[in-house]
């Protein structure tokens, strides 16, 4: 049967073993960082430690899961034994003065004795569950490493990553409050990016593009006639209406729909104008305005994320670690710029 103390001791032993292995090996157990050949030394070391910490957290989670499973197995065993004891006859006790007499233990006392190991095993399961949940939270706090790895797989070997010095912001009061304040600003800027990305195209731009599209199709369907034509089909209309079949089975031709567009060009443009007039263009942005706004927001957000990372790193040093966001900007964590 695994008790709560045994489960905790198992986790403590695992941590001690991992720390001893790391200290004795001096980086020998560090994984090779794929995609980091272009990283500055400090950034590469920071990532290596984050990966190592994530692996340690993963091992602890696996150990905690095993401990919980063993505790549950011990609970099932205790429950089975208790069930058998409670179902057995009360029996007799042998006394030196009396040959035999009914057992003096009451049914409630007998039940309490049988259930004592079960109650103890239930407490051990609760403790193991709590340990496993804490280990899961710890492991989940390193989700940002996958974000950094993905970014490095695309940009890490380009060789143009420059180290960026970021001064830790001066904080008055609780550092965690400052971190949360920055994260709120980052979230707002992220919403602003979505708003800019979803901004409407200006009405006049949309109208001119739609009219140009109609004109292009109409030009392809325009009918021409030559005064010297003697073919009997001066318009070539049947050719425009004809649909061919390619050897692959694909259909070639449009059955003269472009001719219809040519004939109805003005009506189509009028209908497009009516449709556009009914649309909402609040916050509309041109492509140039959209690109400029996106660049500025991204720049401001990265600056905030660098401050956030500086505060998180300072909190770690002071013994008040704060979990990093899984969607952090890898450049902020690594302290680099591309």
Q: What is the pLDDT of residue 69?
A: 98
Q: What is the pLDDT of residue 120?
A: 96
pLDDT, one tens digit per residue, over 290-336 is: 999 999 999 999 999 999 999 999 999 888 899 999 999 999 999 99
Pairing label, strands 101-102, 251-252: unpaired
What is the Cβ-side half-sphere exposure of residue 137, based on CA atoms within 13 angstroms?
A: 8
Average pLDDT of 215-225? 93
pLDDT, one tens digit per residue, over 18-30 is: 444 444 444 434 4
Higher pLDDT pick, 338 / 151:
151
How many residues in the chain?
A: 338
pLDDT, one tens digit per residue, over 127-154 is: 999 999 999 999 999 999 999 999 999 8
Rg of the chain over CA atoms, in angstroms? 37
- The mean pLDDT of the chain is 86
DSSP secondary structure code for residue 97 in this structure: S
Higher pLDDT pick, 31 / 293:
293
pLDDT level of residue 242 (50, 70, 90 thresholds)? confident
Q: What is the pLDDT of residue 187?
A: 97
> How open is the CA angle 220-222-227, to the nearest 5 degrees?
130
What the block records as the tokens of 74 is 């011990």
Query: What spatial distance separates the first Cα and last Cα of the chain, rounded to whole Å?
Result: 55
pLDDT, one tens digit per residue, over 34-90 is: 455 678 999 999 999 999 999 999 999 999 999 999 999 999 999 999 999 888 776
DSSP secondary structure code for residue 172 in this structure: S
What the block records as the tokens of 231 is 């073919």
pTM of the model: 0.70
Question: From its phi and psi, is residue 27 left (phi > 0), alpha (psi between -120 and 50) or beta?
Answer: left
Q: By the 8 A CB rule, do 71 and 131 touch?
A: no
Going by C-beta distance under 8 Å and a sequence separation of 6 or more, which residues neighbour residue 118?
75, 78, 79, 82
Q: What is the pLDDT of residue 260?
A: 93
Match 């904080």 to its residue by tokens. Answer: 171
The answer to whether residue 225 scores a pLDDT higher than 50 is: yes
Average pLDDT of 232-255? 85
**Using CA atoms, how far apart are residues 202 and 179, in angstroms rounded to an integer?**
38
């Amino acid at each position: 049967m695994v008790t709560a103390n045994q489960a905790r001791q198992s986790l403590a032993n695992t941590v001690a073993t991992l720390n001893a292995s790391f200290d004795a090996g001096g980086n020998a157990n560090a994984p090779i960082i794929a995609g980091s050949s272009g990283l500055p030394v400090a950034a590469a070391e920071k990532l290596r430690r984050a990966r190592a910490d994530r692996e340690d957290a993963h091992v602890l989670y696996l150990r905690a899961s095993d401990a919980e499973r063993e505790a549950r197995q011990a609970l099932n065993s205790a429950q089975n034994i208790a069930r058998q004891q409670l179902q057995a006859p009360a029996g007799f006790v042998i006394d030196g003065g009396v040959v035999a007499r009914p057992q003096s233990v009451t049914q409630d006392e007998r039940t309490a004795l049988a259930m004592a190991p079960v109650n103890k095993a239930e407490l051990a399961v609760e403790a193991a569950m709590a340990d496993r949940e804490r280990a899961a939270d710890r492991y989940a706090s390193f989700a940002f490493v996958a974000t950094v790895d993905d970014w490095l797989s695309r940009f890490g070997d380009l060789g143009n990553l420059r180290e960026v010095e970021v001064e830790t912001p001066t904080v008055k009061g609780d550092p965690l409050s400052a971190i949360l304040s920055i994260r709120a600003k980052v979230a707002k800027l992220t919403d602003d990016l979505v708003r800019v990305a979803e901004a409407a195209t200006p009405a006049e731009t949309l109208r001119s593009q739609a009219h140009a599209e109609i004109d292009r199709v109409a030009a392809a369907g325009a009918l021409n006639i030559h005064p010297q034509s003697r073919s009997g089909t001066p318009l070539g209309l049947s050719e425009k209406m004809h649909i061919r079949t390619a050897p692959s089975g694909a259909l070639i031709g449009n059955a003269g729909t472009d001719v219809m567009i040519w004939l109805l060009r003005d009506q189509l443009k009028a209908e497009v104008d009516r449709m556009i007039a009914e649309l909402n263009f609040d916050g509309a942005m041109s492509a140039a305005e959209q690109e400029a706004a996106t660049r500025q927001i991204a720049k401001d957000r990265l600056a905030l994320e660098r401050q956030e990372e500086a505060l998180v790193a300072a909190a770690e040093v002071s013994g008040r670690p704060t979990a990093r966001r899984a969607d952090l900007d890898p450049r902020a964590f690594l302290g680099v710029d591309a």
